Structure 1
């Protein structure tokens, strides 16, 4: 399959709400919702004290607060009944589904970097399973982490192994209009992982050369790993399809740490980004007060116009 040839079924593209061949989130045409200029995506548990423990109540609460996107790393492991109920609620409330984790992540040992064919087939099998989850919950993006480095191999060989695995995964995803987003992770929280910096992710995406393989730029991780956030976002722009948020130190809501999120959000918005920014962080204050603080922090950081 030619990497630039991207043909999705009419049914799939209709369900996912985008046009075949235009997969980058920043090329979408969906407007910002309610009071927010960008589509910030909370996760389950972030507002459990204000909304209650029920996932459906939490989704409705998010929508009531103006958050019109949602992400769920653990969606793949939820029951089919709950997945369907959550998808129905999101459809009714106009909530866009963000990322879920597509496969088993190898935190301590190499898998994709090793070139081992059995581990590659395991990964590809899990990508196939994730296609069905994505269809069920109307998701467009899924998170992929290539795993640990292989210290017995030169980095060039490791990169070639990772690229080959991602090319084959792209062949699975392309016909369905789905995108795996590669997440570089920082050395402090996740030492020894193959993918750690945005230029490296950019290089890998260029080598894979598929609209189904893009970058998840996690601002928390990249603040720790490389800093220079806005210039690096600009340099990687054409390959970034998704963002995640977390302030540093603490990995909590914007305004709780050192990152000037108002300026970062302003830049992302100025470039025309119409996709999702996942709120993959904790709350700096416990309880209802802390949950309201998260809401207020996003209102404050989003007030750049």
Structure 2
């Protein structure tokens, strides 16, 4: 049965970030993920993980200035040096936190950059990141995101992600499959997951519409999660959704999977 990780960037937001680890542990989660740890001391986060018996499952490589609208810098030819520096920072955090998997957000294609330039920059940066992470025993994933939530985001479908992985040519690069985003962009969830299970290293969930907890929208999560088990998925499932009310009130869906 799948292991569920709380996404602390979206769950338990009623408390300060550093207190969300305790809230996740008390709610019964085994692992956590979030956007970024870089505003905090890595050893402080490590202490919170250990105190609450949590595994650090995933976080993102540095993705530029999030507050200013950056959603990744991996497709920006003018920021390759910044990207590479960010990879080294992420590795240091991952080593302290015991995190063996990092996600690279492609980002929004900058004005004036062609699709070809963005693609070649993305491949270049991923080759660097995949090799650097492999040397430390850390895996790299990339995530396709829907164009409604982030207009202009470069990576949007599973097929596109597969082409990128093929061109990078590293066995240390896989897919982070976000069920919510892919329901919007391509649907056909079960067949897509089955066809690509060998390349899916991490899964995230939210229902659609609204990006709320499972059971609030159109996705048949009892079927989808059982199907993931049936096709042999053994990784983590990150709960990356916006609770309709409070986080605890929205966790009823999870009881049947414990």
Answer yes or no: is the 8 Å Cα contact 1:217–1:244 preserved in 2.
yes
TM-score between both structures, scaled by the size of structure 2: 0.87
2:62 maps to which residue? 103
CA RMSD of aligned residues (A): 2.5
1:296 maps to which residue? 252
1:275 maps to which residue? 235
Residue 113, structure 1, aligned to residue 72, structure 2: no
**Partner of residue 99 from structure 2, selected from 108, 128, 139:** 139
**Residue 192 (structure 1) shift:** 0.7
Larger radius of gyration: 1
C-alpha distance in 2, partners of 1:235/1:131? 31
Answer yes or no: is the 8 Å Cα contact 1:76–1:100 preserved in 2.
no
C-alpha distance in 2, partners of 1:42/1:146? 23
C-alpha distance in 2, partners of 1:256/1:136? 37
Judging by fraction of residues, say which structure has more strand.
2
Answer yes or no: is the 8 Å Cα contact 2:21–2:49 preserved in 1.
no
Answer yes or no: is the 8 Å Cα contact 2:18–2:45 preserved in 1.
no
2:5 maps to which residue? 41
2:151 maps to which residue? 191
| CA-to-aligned-CA distance 1:143-184 (integer Å, 9 cap, x gap) | 211112256555344322211211011121111111221111
**Residue 187 (structure 1) shift:** 0.6
Q: Structure 1 pair 256/211, CA: closer, same or farther in 2 (3 Å)? A: same
Q: Which runs of 5+ in 2 are unaligned?
A: none
TM-score between both structures, scaled by the size of structure 1: 0.75
Q: Structure 1 pair 109/70, CA: closer, same or farther in 2 (3 Å)? A: closer
Q: Which runs of 5+ in 1 are unaligned?
A: 1-36
**Residue 110 (structure 1) shift:** 8.9
1:11 maps to which residue? none
Judging by fraction of residues, say which structure has more helix.
1
1:246 maps to which residue? 206
